[in-house]
Structure 1
């Protein structure tokens, strides 16, 4: 026997992949008990990768084909089983009941088996066959309430398919920045029958439970802790969000290297009139790049609006630096079908109503995947 993990961290519970080339293990090397994978070599572990982020995770177990890892994850009142891709990804809960699993293993037929203690002297066996299909297949998902996030007013629910990635992002951000920035949001899921004006989209990803809006600002005893940096890319304007770390001793975040953008009234209307604001001096201190962290969990920002009647240079609401959405290569209608039936969508997604009464361009409806009537010409989709 020899030590393949010679370091100061607590590396525990190794589990070998079926082909013997990889090992999954539990470690606290990032400050939180999580599951990692690594390639095995006689000289030690290589290509170490963290694959879980959302809890106190234990007992990794490889599926027979080596593509999945099941694990037990401790929660405040229960201890359910999750599975995740061996390459990393969004964990899926195997059973959303109040189970308290103490171990997990795979049967040869890919059934998961676990022990669950109860009041008797013998721990009962629990068996389940998890869904190992592609994330884009299967039946429509339900909306899940995000109990760790508050909206006032608003609906704190997300599409069940993306809920775990949001929970993981929230936990990771709290760890990185030192406070729970996502505990309060400006917006999350919108009612399906909500009709918007020019300041929002009636066919919004919020309705699909795949978008959230952060707070527009965040202040602490030292003042504003939220900064945005303007980035112009391929004719569009984006904003990157940074949060000042709670600890300013270098243990959290990094020094900002780019000048933030000032969207305040004086900057937009007096100093930089017509330019939408001006750059501010680079602030002193350590910051966390929220936009990059969100992207790592699949949540992408959108560009600012610059239309004739809704332009970020004259209307701060059009900046949209607070908006993040997760599309997973779906169009809008496909995303809506994950959580709504065609009958429920029939009124909202009527092509003629959207095109004639709400003034949507046909090519936009085509790109969003709205079912088109037979008389709708497909070449409209080519019109910019």
Structure 2
């Protein structure tokens, strides 16, 4: 029996479909890549916006202008006064935490204790200071900074305020940790296309550092064992195929490296030694749950002990408490737990932004800080953006929309109260990566009657508060997607590859990327997982998701059907919710319309913050 010939009309439509897809890709990539060779792209300069947009309202006119005002954002109580002060008797007993905290547009170093010391800024300036490590005597802080234009290691003398540079290379140097005698610093450095660990002699930083690891794997986050017998360095490595905790035994040349976590089912990160070196804690992530575990160095065969929830543990100076960063989908918090009981010592404290490293010691730290109180930089950081309203108050409904100049989208418009945040984010990202991601969007404002994809109707795009970024750079290697399971929900973190790959832009990644498009490879096992995890992308990247959050743009969990339904992953969707649920936001855009669909909330229970309102990036509306 002969098969029927394929219809010419079907072939014609198939050819048109392929041509349309190719044209769409070229349309987006042409403003980004001027060269026709995608392997060596030439990218245009980042956008420079020298004038404040006037937020001209769009010509979309609603049938009526409502007079109701939006629901107010709930107030978040503060724990700290605006003037720096300290209870030094308490600090002498419990020590001081030094952390790197997002401070306006940059990360700066702060001294802090939840009970005895409000946030005390130790560094400022238009550069990032991250990965603080306190010297054993408590008088110096080693850290990584971009202040020279490249990531190098520095020390801050708390007694004199003097900052000294230790390394000066174009390669990224970070995550320093002191030897017990303060003579050496171990650190991670991006060389030969991946992260390795090196040892630097502090008194002679001009000497070439010693190479501790030399593997094609990613080796990072070193932590030197304290105490007189501190001849071990714990670190994270994926040399086994998974991120696991390894120890380098400096006195054992024949069998120097040992894997102590030995768990292929979990992701293990951020090792941290107890003050006496008897125990090692790290963060273990299994099935979307992050827990803090403790390993007994004196009895390695003893089962791991689980203490609490978190992803970046540090020990208090007495060895009785572990504090940790606690990540939730759109906020960063801080908490601590008792070692013996696992009870919460310090309840969750909401921080104004992400943390990039912290350490906790007593030693001479309280006395050294006493001279810094009067000399501390201003406690107020400049807001990342300030709304400029074309109409005050902003009218509800579509009359409150403002056109996004220079942005390609089906309807390039957002609410007048949030468009400056988008412009600020676009400018910041362009300057950080050297190319303009946000000049072309999949969507900005989308009318509620628009036929969207199944399961996506009446989304945040219909509120004037949402955007859907373009994911085409992922096809050419300029965007990487990291899967982050949190409990039963799946979230995504987006990284963008920087135009300049000489170390002057971005930082190396340590997370493995998720290839969501590989579901179409024909491999049933990959299809059933919605893609597959691949290796750590090479080069220098910036965390777009983190920067979006700093400008107020929240990400969303994937829909329950994302594994088989690509749009359900929703990794391109971001919205400035201002604490509203979806139905309330839709009702503000469409007054009088009954949205019977149950409210979808994308906010968490407010937690107390550790800084005064002036130090957050929350905008203050102009009068």
Category of TM-score, reference length = shorter chain: 0.5 to 0.7
Q: Find the counterpart in structure 2 of residue 182 from structure 1.
A: 438
Aligned residues: 236
Is residue 582–residue 600 contact of structure 2 (8 Å, CA) maintained in 1? no
Is residue 139–residue 338 contact of structure 1 (8 Å, CA) maintained in 2? no
Please give the residue correspondences for 1:59-208 in structure 2 after superposition, counting only pairs within 5 Å.
90-93=385-388, 139-140=395-396, 142-151=400-409, 154-201=410-457, 203-208=458-463
Structure that is richer in strand per residue: 2
- The answer to which structure, 1 or 2, has the higher relative contact order (CA under 8 A, 6+ apart) is 2
Deviation of 1:49 after TM superposition, in Å, equals 2.0
Distance 1:317 1:350, change over 3 A: closer
Alignment pair present for 1:227 and 2:559: no
Distance 1:21 1:314, change over 3 A: closer
**Deviation string for 1:299-321 (max 9, x for gaps)?**
11111111xxxx22122221111
Q: Aligned partners of 1:289, 1:314: CA distance in 2, in Å?
A: 27
Q: Aligned partners of 1:367, 1:250: CA distance in 2, in Å?
A: 40
Q: Aligned partners of 2:504, 2:600: CA distance in 1, in Å?
A: 48
Deviation of 1:208 after TM superposition, in Å, equals 1.0
Q: Aligned partners of 2:389, 2:402: CA distance in 1, in Å?
A: 15
Q: Find the counterpart in structure 2 of residue 253 from structure 1.
A: 506
Q: Find the counterpart in structure 2 of residue 305 from structure 1.
A: 559
RMSD of Structure 2 on Structure 1 (CA): 3.2
Q: Aligned partners of 1:95, 1:320: CA distance in 2, in Å?
A: 31
Alignment pair present for 1:209 and 2:467: no
3-state SS in 2 of match to 1:242: strand
Q: Aligned partners of 1:272, 1:250: CA distance in 2, in Å?
A: 34
Q: Find the counterpart in structure 1 of residue 375 from structure 2.
A: 43
1:314 to 564, 567, 572: 564
Q: Aligned partners of 2:601, 2:517: CA distance in 1, in Å?
A: 35
Q: Find the counterpart in structure 2 of residue 329 from structure 1.
A: 579
Deviation of 1:28 after TM superposition, in Å, equals 8.6
Distance 1:280 1:41, change over 3 A: same
Deviation of 1:29 after TM superposition, in Å, equals 3.3
Instruction: Compare CA radii of gyration and give the structure with the larger one.
Output: 2
1:274 to 528, 545, 548: 528
Q: Aligned partners of 2:442, 2:538: CA distance in 1, in Å?
A: 28
Distance 1:169 1:366, change over 3 A: closer
**Deviation string for 1:38-88 (max 9, x for gaps)?**
xx9753634362324xxxxxxxxxxxxxxxxxxxxxxxxxxxxxxxxxxxx
Is residue 268–residue 278 contact of structure 1 (8 Å, CA) maintained in 2? no
Q: Aligned partners of 2:595, 2:83: CA distance in 1, in Å?
A: 53
Q: Aligned partners of 2:544, 2:509: CA distance in 1, in Å?
A: 12
Q: Aligned partners of 1:260, 1:266: CA distance in 2, in Å?
A: 14
Q: Aligned partners of 1:178, 1:284: CA distance in 2, in Å?
A: 17
In the alignment, structure 2 segments of 5+ residues that lack a partner are 1-81, 85-123, 129-371, 603-623
Deviation of 1:207 after TM superposition, in Å, equals 1.1
